[in-house]
Amino acid sequence: RALLVSDFSHEDEEEDEEEELRGLTVCVPPQAAAALCISVGSFSDPDDLPGLAHFLEHMVFMGSEKYPAENGFDAFLKKHGGTDNASTDCERTIFQFDVQRKYFREALDRWAQFFICPLMIEDAIDREVEAVDSEYQLARPSDSHRKEMLFGSLAKPGHPMSKFCWGNAQTLKHEPREKQINTYERLRLFWRRYYSAHYMTLTVQSKGTHRSCSVGEPRLDFSHLQQPFDTPAFNKLYRVVPVRKVHALTISWAVPPQGKHYRVKPLHYISWLIGHEGTGSILSLLRRKCWALALFGGNSETGFDQNTTYSIFSISITLTDQGYQNFYQVVHLVFQYLKMLQTLDPQQRIYEEIQKIEANEFHYQEQTDPIEFVENICENMQLFPKEDFLTGDQLMFEYDPQVISAALSLLTPGRANLLLLSPENEGLCPLREKWFGTCYSEEDVSNEWAHIWAGDFQLHPDLHLPVENRFIATDFALKTSDCPESDFPVRIVNSERGCLWYKKDNKFKIPKAYIRFNLISPVIQKSPENLVLFDLFVNILAHNLAEPAYEADVAQLEYKLVAGEHGLVIRLKGFNHKLPLLLKLIVDHLADFTAEPGVFAMFSEQLKKTYFNILIKPERLGKDVRLLILEHNRWSVIQKHQAVTKGLTVDDLLAFAGELKAELYAEGLVQGNFTSSESKEFLQYFIEKLQFRPLSTEVPVLFRVVELPHKQHLCKVKSLNKGDANSEVTVYYQVGPLQDVRLCPQMHMEEPCFDFLRTKETLGYQVYPTCRNTSGVLGFSVTVETQATKFSTEFVEAKIEDFLVGFGERLSGLSQEAFRTQVTALIKLKECEDAHLGEEVERNWFEVVTQQYVFTRLKKEIEALKLFAQEDLVSWFLEQRNSSGKLSVHVVGFGVEENDPAEQNADGPPSSAYGKVSELTFLPNSAPSLRDATLVTDIRAFTSSLPLHPYHKILS
């Protein structure tokens, strides 16, 4: 829940507050949707063509006999406000799409043809293999994918778990050619054999009706291949060098497949106890010792974690430096807790508490997007009997202590696999995983610890089961309104210390609510050091709250603390009955903020790693550089990394916390099942408890944005991850202060952009145009993520320019009918009803947090779009191309196309995986096509001479 300190399993999911233009896809309409699940996946790949199932998932979308255009389906969907996707797992492949209801029948026919008679022409095969290869290259720097591939390689020889499920150019193009294997013929053979009706389940949803069907019984089954990890290679300690800077320990067991016990869900019961964070839990004890930051336990229910041959139960712990030094002690604590559970037998009280929480959540759940709903149901149809299609994956139906005890009895030290990730392992890992290049070592568990675990070891006295949960809601009554009904939030408190916006929900009629506060402070943006102290403050506050607030989290009351750019954002949602209890708990901890020296040291170290892990991602570095150029007085993540590395003290933090809390402006929004008088008490509690002074001067909630001169600018920086071939090129055009009419070509641009840059030019897997709202200044951009082993960034930029030239011509030649169709689709998207309360809250919160308060913005945009003429868009686009400020940001990966030397020894470990991230390396321009561009190599010097747009908000 804390924003910055990344946990091991979620790969730095830092909240992204900028910048895609809100309003373009404000809400998901009640679209029609369909999903098809085929019971074939990478387990069925032939041994001589790894990745064939994944490749086929790509290829069936490349046109059909009835609709031969390669990107015809995508073009049709984009035109009618739709989306599509597909994914390949170990034993299943899923395809799904949504579209406006009016066009559903035609879309369904087009989609069905991919499974009836796909074209799969040989020419497309050669090009699409590059998209599969690019997808694999983008996945290579991901520690979670690397960990999975290494884990799979530990399976018995011949078991499909050890297959290379991704596929790449080597396995699908180069090697088959050398071995004279005809990939085209084998692809068609695979399609004929497996894309058959008796392996398929289908779900469609339209006009509020759901239909599901399956033909025959799915027959692919690997259940004869039991116990793939019953091998000496499994029960060992593996030390791994991660890409990111992280210390992480994963303890895993492979147990017999548990899918058949879905009514009991034994692994879910066990993981609920293992992952508990309240008093008596493993994590509570580890946090007290400053050994761990986060712990996740259980089975993700992906095909990798659960299939017909085994189920995985794993416990992943994000360790601190100290925890890494004592990792065997950490493992010992986990084994003690498991032994306690095995000794005590399953607890009916706890099982029924989980059952109650999940039944409440299911009963009052908010509407799911149709595309997610159909995807989920068509997969459930492969897993559960008909009566449990809707609930089989969500509810715990029956308490069966024997089934739980049987699963628990398998989680013993002697059957566990230990995976220890740490940068400290660099240079100590001579082995290398074949496909992702992960460096690792294999060793037996130390004799000393193996001996302790084989005996009757003592349990830590502080470990115990969780107590009864006081946060479980029992009152689900809908409150009577105490003020006039309103379509939009109304300001019910407005004082010098803060204001509160309120809207009673009378539409969705659920006993839930959202509470959001932005505590605006002038001290946050004073310096990079203050930004670091703010990040530390938010993380340590979340750490202090973790244990007392965990019961609320378990009871489906969600809270998140976000280090916003100009304030501390506190977000809560859930059943309104106990939500005020949680808010008071957070405010109390905020008022009484403390930081132990050990905890401060732990988070300072972790923050260094977090900033490093952000900067080694090309897309994050590209964004940092672009916003550093565009937003005046913004501090970069590199400057934050420098500040935390120089060293800050716990006294600095406590002084900062005092200054932060002394002078604030608290702005809030309450929406849902609360009365206005209850809502006023929330703001009052902040003011009374924190006792802050009003702001002495107004704090802007946006940055000022530089006005780019009407010419081209280029900023080229080298990627900060030496082992990463991935590059990113973003070409950005600055339009100017945002007007009500959103003259943005994104919707017309998406499909042709994909078709030209990805399908035809095969530049990369990720290719997209974006409308950007940068602190109130409009712009649009085209981004391509590519690989330096295939293309230089200058070559990619030239292709983006070719696309934009062609797009201008295409836009000019667009028929009135085609133009109106797309504008109508955009209007329909904006006119759609909110699927659930959260969507309405999100839109209203944007108005509050940017202090614009135009709650009728959607209506105004729809009115503007209805008057919008094709000539306006064409002349506007051509004008922007010719007279706007243009900024190209290249993050240049490592590879032969960028004149980097090939890695010296491809089979051995690289010299060092960890470069410095303390400064940027600016590169010269080497392309004649960009010779007129102003090269930016000193960002501060460049921006200091530029005029600034005034602070810009649309207020009416």
Contact 293, 318 (CB under 8 A): yes
Strands (E), 141-227: 200-206, 209-214
Instruction: State the DSSP H helix or E strand holding residue 96, giving kind and residue range, or none if neither.
Output: strand 93-99
Q: What's the first-to-final CA gap in the chain, in angstroms?
A: 35
CB-facing half-sphere around the CA of 889: CA atoms within 13 A: 23
Whose CA is closest to 64, among 111, 97, 130? 111
Given the residues 13, 15, 17, 57, the one annotated as active site: 57
Give the span between the Cα atoms of 567 and 848, in whole angstroms: 13
Whose CA is closest to 478, among 679, 674, 676? 674
Token readout for 50 is 């790894």
Give the span between the Cα atoms of 165 and 152, in whole angstroms: 10
Is residue 871 annotated as a catalytic residue, yes or no?
Answer: no
| Torsional class of 776: left (φ above 0), alpha (ψ -120 to 50), beta (otherwise) | left
* 813: exposed, middle or buried (Cβ count in 10 Å: 0-12, 13-18, 19+): exposed
| 73-to-39, 93, 333, 681 alpha-carbon distances in Å | 24, 19, 54, 53
| Torsional class of 819: left (φ above 0), alpha (ψ -120 to 50), beta (otherwise) | alpha
| 158-to-2, 219, 232, 333 alpha-carbon distances in Å | 43, 21, 16, 35
Contact 731, 782 (CB under 8 A): yes
Give the span between the Cα atoms of 808 and 926, in whole angstroms: 27
Give the span between the Cα atoms of 387 and 404, in whole angstroms: 23
Angle between helices 650-662 and 597-615 in degrees, nearest 10: 80
The owner of tokens 């809390």 is 661
Contact 607, 5 (CB under 8 A): yes
Contacts of 84 (CB under 8 A, 6+ apart): 61, 73, 74, 77, 95, 96, 97, 98, 111
Helix spans in 466-564 (H): 528-546, 550-554
The owner of tokens 């202590």 is 401
CA angle 79, 85, 87 (to 5 degrees): 170
Q: CA 519 from chain center: how many Å? A: 26
Strand partners, 672: 504, 513
Beta pairing, strands 237-240 & 417-421? parallel
The owner of tokens 């089961």 is 465
Contact 785, 618 (CB under 8 A): yes
The DSSP-derived string for 71-109 is THHHHHHHHTT-EEEEEE-SS-EEEEEEE-GGGHHHHHH
Which DSSP symbol is given to 720?
S
Give the span between the Cα atoms of 737 and 779, in whole angstroms: 9
Give the span between the Cα atoms of 477 and 457, in whole angstroms: 50
Helix (H, G, I), strand (E, B) or coil at 98: strand
Give the span between the Cα atoms of 72 and 389, in whole angstroms: 33
The DSSP-derived string for 318-359 is EE-HHHHHTHHHHHHHHHHHHHHHHHH---HHHHHHHHHHHH
Contact 18, 355 (CB under 8 A): no
Strand partners, 728: 785, 891
List, by residue number, the catalytic residues. 57
